[in-house]
Amino acid sequence: MKIETIRWKNNRAELIDQRLLPARIRYAKCATAKDMHDAIKRMIVRGAPAIGIAAAYGAYLGIRKSRASSYRKFRKELSGVVKYLAASRPTASNLFWALERIEHTAEKNKSVPVGELKKIILDEAHSILSEDIEMCHAIGGHGARLIKKGSRVLTHCNAGALATGGYGTAVGVIFSARKKIKRVYVDETRPVLQGARLTAWELSRAKMPFTVICDSMAASLMQKGKISAVVVGADRIAANGDAANKIGTYNLAVLASYHEVPFYIAAPFSTFDLSINSGREIPIEERPPEEVRKIGKEYITLRDADIYNPAFDVTPAKLIMAIITERGVIRRPGKRGITEYS
């Protein structure tokens, strides 16, 4: 099963428009930094690692037509593009990590002619994409060892191929452990339904047994002993191990702790933000109220209903049994455990 979430074709980036799944597959074509900014902001592309990859390509798209005659002028243009793309969404650490990597690449090659430097930046974006796929396979391998034979695994939102360069973090663990997994339970993940629309689609393509549930059904399943482990992704992880992920993740962590179900986070080190001490410092994006008022084009509540729509919540490190990374498994995460792997 191969899913090209992001690809480079005809000198532009093409992204699967995830708003249209599972009904149809269509690639949105991004030829400018504005195209990429809009694609990230409007969730044509989503998932922390995928956003980072998209932003790297967006940085190149923003400077590829630069006529700067000196590195100083070129660097000023690049900084403007990076600042613009960084404003597209505030929570996912991978966005800022990828843009910083592009800027570092430019600085490292400042003596190179501008025309050649543009190609180096594009090659760096290609590397970020290919490395992400390798990292996700490594995450999957490490995580699979934590899954017991005959397990029924619960996941939330979409942390699969669609959220990454093409394999997945949390769903990558599920793919890698598929021979040991009896069934996957998929939270629908309101309000945008990434679980029901995207994760179910990926698992169906992989021919894995799965069941979609409403978000409010997880507690009942745990109470009945039907969940062996919870595996989710993350958008930003603080130095103490607190992790921000799709809204509703914290609910699952509390439920898993109460029912003594292992709760795992799967994420690459590009998701770690060691500059912040705890989850209290993670900026939480608030999305448009129409995402809650409607499903598709249909209103499901009053058109003028007051809406609160944070896209993410923060799970305290003490509720996380382990963070699965490409470098290995950080058990009972805390500041010491994370810095030892960094």
What are the residue numbers of the active site? Answer: 235
Question: Helix crossing, 93-108 with 114-144: angle to 10°?
Answer: 140
271 exposed, middle or buried (CB, 10 Å; 0-12, 13-18, 19+)? buried
Which run of H or E residues covers position 323?
strand 322-325
Among 187, 205, 207, 204, which residue's Cα sits nearest to residue 196? 187
Residue 42 CA: distances (Å) to CA of 36, 51, 96, 110: 10, 12, 18, 34
Query: Cβ atoms within 10 A of the Cβ of 322, count?
Result: 22
109 exposed, middle or buried (CB, 10 Å; 0-12, 13-18, 19+)? middle
Which tokens sit at 288?
A: 């448009």
Separation CA 51–CA 69 (nearest Å): 31
Direct distance between the N- and C-terminal alpha carbons of the chain, in angstroms, rounded to an integer: 32
Residue 36 CA: distances (Å) to CA of 5, 40, 331: 14, 6, 36
Contact by Cβ (8 Å): 308, 247: no
Separation CA 167–CA 181 (nearest Å): 17
